[in-house]
Structure 1
Amino acid sequence: MMLKKTPSWKKKVVSPGDVLKKIEPGMNIFIGTGAAEPRTLVNCLMHTKGYGLQDLTLIQLVSFGDAISYKALQSKRYRLKTFFSGWVSAEAISAGQVDLVPSRFSAIPLLMKEGQIPIDIAFVQITPPNRAGYCSLGVGVDVARRAMAQADLVVGEVNHEIPFTFGDTFVPFDAFDMIIESIDPPFYFPRFPVDPVFDKLAATVASVIEDGSCLAFTFGPIFEALPKHLADKKDLGIHTPFFTDALMELVKSGAVSNRKKGLFKGRSLTAYALGSRELMQFLDKNPIVEFQSIDKVFNPMEIGQNHRFVLIIPARRVDLSGRVTLHNSKGNVTAGPGQMADFFNGAEISQGGYTIIALPSQNRQGTPNIRLSVEDSPDLLSLPESIDLVATEQGIAHLRGKTLRERAQALIEIAHPEDRPELVEGAKKINILYKDQIFLADSTRFYPADIETRHMFKNNINIRFRAIKPSDEDQMRRLFYRFSDKAIYYRYFSPIKTMPHEKTQEYVNVDYRDVLSIVALVGEPGQQTIIAEARFAKHQNKPLVDIAFVVDEVYQGYGIATYLYQMLARLAKDRGAQGMTADVLASNRAMLKVFEKGDFPVQAKVEQGVYALTIDLTTPKN
């Protein structure tokens, strides 16, 4: 019987106690982050007493492992210096036991290089070396290389349970001055439960993510719920700080190809992985996941090279101007305003890129998350000019390029229906909304979000259809002023010259029961333009609806009018109508042809140059 030969690298292994003997008071010790936290070394450091283990500064970029505990920090033998105010550090920062370094993540390697963040010892978790003598940094690259280059003593903790990952992760075994073997498993990060409201919120967010987009992922119920709503997308890319179980699900769904990315084509780019044992097994020797240092992952110029980069930020509250409050509770893993700056800039640089703020319309206590003002809130992200979209489970508010009044209208429309009347009145009092602003309280409960749809027309014109909203007032005015005098006469049967606020707001405020209006939009999310509108109004005491529609002249001839006509017929029939009526000028041959080609028989009477049409919805054409 042959005995298994002991690997030669094990001859270099020492005990954690041997490492601790090298520590002297006042030293700065770099420690890996999250699942890359060398837990055996850190646990020994936390629980061992000795002359040298005093007045130590622990440097950890993101503090959400479990070895550095709040209780241990209370011993006053250690201080934690971190660049991230989440997880254990949030509570300790408030108590004055942690030093928070406000900094963009992309700038941290330079701070270390310049000696602004001095490091005496580096504790780094690694895999066992391969046959070529190289270890992998596993699931946390961040600034480990920079820390190792600066430290006088580099200690590697070999953990047999972490994955051997690809990218900028390979380190020669002889780069380590001391080696210990881990007796602790990696830190496995728990998954978040998903309430129904977050599932609906994720569906809303997914509705504005286009095929070929590049995404950044982090943690929380929104990201847990997103994969199933993105599973039917095509050619998504990943450029993200964190690789998670939810992201693994998205990759496995087939929606992620990374083919449309500007950098690292064919590979998902990340700096950290946090998740389950299954995730660690998925990442082991997986060539489609690329681990790089934070100066690459957080570099705005590199982020911006990805076409249509989408940044999704879970938020706590939003006010009517677009200012955002981020989460600041213990257990939060999303970054703060400083850490978000790099990704904000990257989304702005990216061609077709945009930022989505996502939050439920109310919190768990039933109080509103969309408010008049969040000016006095902690963790305020006061970058309203950088917020493109805000999503709640009630819908999407498009803010890019909008005035404060238009922003307020759009945000009120996605607030919880119970909160909208108070927001309208409050906005009027502080002159954000017009004093005469119409608000149909009942309509907030009847908005037909379910009728939203998309359709691809010839020449690859992708058009989104949805019910009209009060915040469409300015867009509808602009549509009106793009029409020729002839188009206006065909639609309104009179030579109307102006469409002032008083008239337009009456037009866009409908009750969705007696009157339903559909608008057609083109363009990227956050920059969409209304190019057509169709509506029906119920006849009094008759099971009929009167219909009318108009298409921007630039987009005529693509079949949009025919599609709107079919959509109105279906919606009217679903709501109990037996027929439709319409008045069309005899000279408007194009519109008459739309009715003639429809699925239902049409009767026509001509009176003074106008066709009075009646469409029978109960008897389809043979």
Structure 2
Amino acid sequence: MGRSKKFDWKKILVPPEDALTKIRPGMTVFIGTGPAAPLTLMQSLLEYDGRNVRDIELVQLAIQGNVILSVQDLKTYNYCLITFFSGFISSQTVKSGLVDMIPAYSSEIPELINKGKVSIDVAFIQITPPDSAGYCSLGVAVDVAREAMNKASLVVGEINTDMPFTYGDTFVSIKEFDLLVNSTNKQVPYKRHKVSKQMKKVAENVASVIKDGDCLAFSNSSLFEALGPQLKDKKDLGFHSLYFTDAMAELVKSGAVTNSRKTPFRGKSLTSYALGSKKLMKWLHRNPLVEFQGTDFVCNPIFIGKIPQFVAIYEAEKVDLIGGVAFPRTGSVITGPGEVVDFFQGAEASEEGCTIIGLPSRNINGDSNILFSLMDYPNQLRIRESVYMIATEYGVANLKWKTLRERAQAMIDIAHPDDRQLLMEQAKKGKFLYSNQIFISNSAHLYPTHIACKTTFKGGIPIRFRAIKPSDEEQMRRFFYRFSDEAKFYRFFYSVKTMDHDKMQEYVNVDYNKEMSIVGLSGRPGDQTIMAEARFVRDDRSYYGEVAFLIDDSFQGIGIGSYMLDLLIQLAKELGLMGLTAEVLSDNLPMKKVFEKANYPMEAQLENGVYALTMHFNE
């Protein structure tokens, strides 16, 4: 048999205007999204004066980055734009009827097209030049292009020589196109976001709860630009994300992302879109480390749920006291609830999976990003049950399975210090907090964030330490009731049977002008339990601090007491104290040894079965 004749694709290469003559009034035209937008065809469509191009319905998944159609364009040319997320220009015009929106989960959109729920007559698809075998790549946007091509009666390919040839479900034969046009537009790069000092700290806090081996969903915003450098010391991270960016490429190149712990696609980062610089596009060209698949696969919560340690991370614009989230409405990428729900559901089904929301405590105008209630704030995620953690530059609030009171306390703790008192009063009025809830205004500014650290003790036990917070009230109450009467007596020197709200809120609301309290936490990041607490209270007459400890029985004898004493010594010196004192029962020898190991001059006087210990800093 002889060789089959090679398809001469140049025979169907036409000027853009010739392709537009095939359109008829009332047709529905699918347009590639974001980096797949066929700009030459779109520009020609707007400039075309043929009477056949009237009453046209345009379908685009979302408008990203450059806005192709303006409000005036839609009015002038009698177009209607259908999208699946109301962002950018469409958010301004949905009510006018110029833009129509289909609320849908991202994973469902391919099925809507396949079943004809969204009819497609014409598909404008951007592609790479064909290879020697006659195959093109869909490049850096593989969403529902294949479904649109299958349904359309007219498929027009716009060949862009700038488009990277990518791997995955990206290959299309040049024979699948009815017409081809050459792109006269350079591919539009996405600028990298600037990172503020506040966002850098937000990213540090987000990174603190990400574990080795986590598989991450990233996006394109300043949070992720800041997060990338914070993750370079992690091991065996993975990517399963709707978007792939410059920051993600840098993490892959750093070795932090290996994708070695996820299946399928082991060793590959999975995505549907790439948004970034020319440098990123060059790196993606024929790069086998990145796999492009359609949104029905990438956004499928059932598939995501099978990935262990899946972490869905998003940047928010506003949040409220009980875990409500409103996503940004401006920027190069708009995050919509339809996308987020898919990834959040997957994260909830994932073994050790979680969701993290990050945002600065205030916006650039100085307004609080944490509100009492979002009410009718646009672009909301209304399933608070799916929000595990929210991070600002002031810490991480763990909300999963917490009561409304615990959520409100945790959110106030990570608000800007100057906004906490108002939020506290609003929460009291709204019955989220008790009417007698304590608030020490000075403590919000004096909280010693610098003392936070993580250390591994004997037996490979990792413990995180930080200063106590008002939101620790419920955890501290449970911690107290885990102790035997004997252990409580060692701590308080009298029998303490109960620790109700009034007592415990006084205990966790610390005036950092004269008192310091440190807690030790064990367990997975974001789901940790208090297992130790140490504090001192300054004596204003002697300028010494009186020390007391509580350490869970199962964590004693591994060095935690000595470590926490060193932290207290550091804090006491910062407050200008002369030393520390403690009263220790004579049979509590382990605690006495903790003080003896501190290598400071110490006096010990025994009276009535109690050692009075005095540690001096300046001798």
TM-score (structure 1 length as normaliser):
0.95
Answer whether contact 1:469 1:508 (CA < 8 A) is retained: yes
Residue 28 of structure 1 is matched in structure 2 by 28
1:422-571 equivalences in 2 (<5 Å): 422-571=422-571
2:386 is equivalent to residue 391 of structure 1:
no
2:328 is equivalent to residue 327 of structure 1:
yes
| 1:132 to partner: Cα distance | 2.5
Answer whether contact 2:122 2:153 (CA < 8 A) is retained: yes
| 1:94 to partner: Cα distance | 4.3
Residue 265 of structure 1 is matched in structure 2 by 266
Distance 2:109 2:382 in 1: 23
Distance 2:173 2:134 in 1: 6
1:3-402 equivalences in 2 (<5 Å): 9-64=9-64, 65-329=66-330, 331=331, 333-402=333-402
| 1:160 to partner: Cα distance | 0.6
Answer whether contact 2:218 2:314 (CA < 8 A) is retained: no
The one-letter code of the counterpart of 2:490 is Y
Answer whether contact 2:9 2:175 (CA < 8 A) is retained: no
Residue 3 of structure 2 is matched in structure 1 by none
State the secondary structure of the residue aligned to 1:141: coil
Between stretches 442-451 and 369-378, larger displacement belongs to 369-378
- Residue deviations 1:520-562 (CA, integer Å, cap 9, x gap): 1122233211111011111223242221111111222322222
Answer whether contact 1:86 1:333 (CA < 8 A) is retained: no
Answer whether contact 1:261 1:305 (CA < 8 A) is retained: no
| 1:487 to partner: Cα distance | 1.2
| 1:515 to partner: Cα distance | 0.5
2:614 is equivalent to residue 614 of structure 1:
yes
| 1:168 to partner: Cα distance | 0.9
- Residue deviations 1:27-73 (CA, integer Å, cap 9, x gap): 11111111111111121112101122111111111222443343321
Distance 2:294 2:62 in 1: 14
Distance 1:199 1:567 in 2: 25
Distance 1:212 1:333, change over 3 A: same
State the secondary structure of the residue aligned to 2:542: coil
Between stretches 455-464 and 33-42, larger displacement belongs to 455-464
State the secondary structure of the residue aligned to 1:74: helix
Residue 3 of structure 1 is matched in structure 2 by none
State the secondary structure of the residue aligned to 2:418: coil
Distance 2:334 2:450 in 1: 31
Distance 1:98 1:310 in 2: 33
Answer whether contact 1:408 1:433 (CA < 8 A) is retained: yes
State the secondary structure of the residue aligned to 1:252: helix
May I ask how many residue pairs the two structures share in their alignment?
Answer: 613
State the secondary structure of the residue aligned to 2:527: coil
Answer whether contact 1:86 1:332 (CA < 8 A) is retained: no
- Residue deviations 1:83-142 (CA, integer Å, cap 9, x gap): 122233323324321111100010111111111011111111111112222211101010
Answer whether contact 2:195 2:225 (CA < 8 A) is retained: yes
State the secondary structure of the residue aligned to 1:528: strand
Distance 1:399 1:471, change over 3 A: same
Residue 407 of structure 2 is matched in structure 1 by 407
Between stretches 572-581 and 164-173, larger displacement belongs to 572-581
Answer whether contact 1:263 1:302 (CA < 8 A) is retained: no
Between stretches 418-427 and 276-285, larger displacement belongs to 418-427
The one-letter code of the counterpart of 2:402 is K
Distance 2:226 2:74 in 1: 35
Distance 2:460 2:61 in 1: 46
2:416 is equivalent to residue 416 of structure 1:
yes
Distance 1:159 1:403 in 2: 54
TM-score (structure 2 length as normaliser):
0.95
The one-letter code of the counterpart of 2:206 is V
- Calculate percent identity across the aligned residue pairs: 52
Distance 1:262 1:461 in 2: 29
- Residue deviations 1:343-376 (CA, integer Å, cap 9, x gap): 1101111122222222222222222221222123
Distance 1:151 1:44 in 2: 20
| 1:381 to partner: Cα distance | 2.0
Distance 2:225 2:153 in 1: 41
Between stretches 263-272 and 315-324, larger displacement belongs to 315-324
Answer whether contact 1:87 1:332 (CA < 8 A) is retained: no
| 1:332 to partner: Cα distance | 6.0
Answer whether contact 1:43 1:68 (CA < 8 A) is retained: no
Answer whether contact 1:400 1:526 (CA < 8 A) is retained: no
- Residue deviations 1:416-441 (CA, integer Å, cap 9, x gap): 11111122122222222111111111
| 1:7 to partner: Cα distance | 11
| 1:499 to partner: Cα distance | 0.9
The one-letter code of the counterpart of 1:415 is A
Answer whether contact 1:395 1:414 (CA < 8 A) is retained: yes
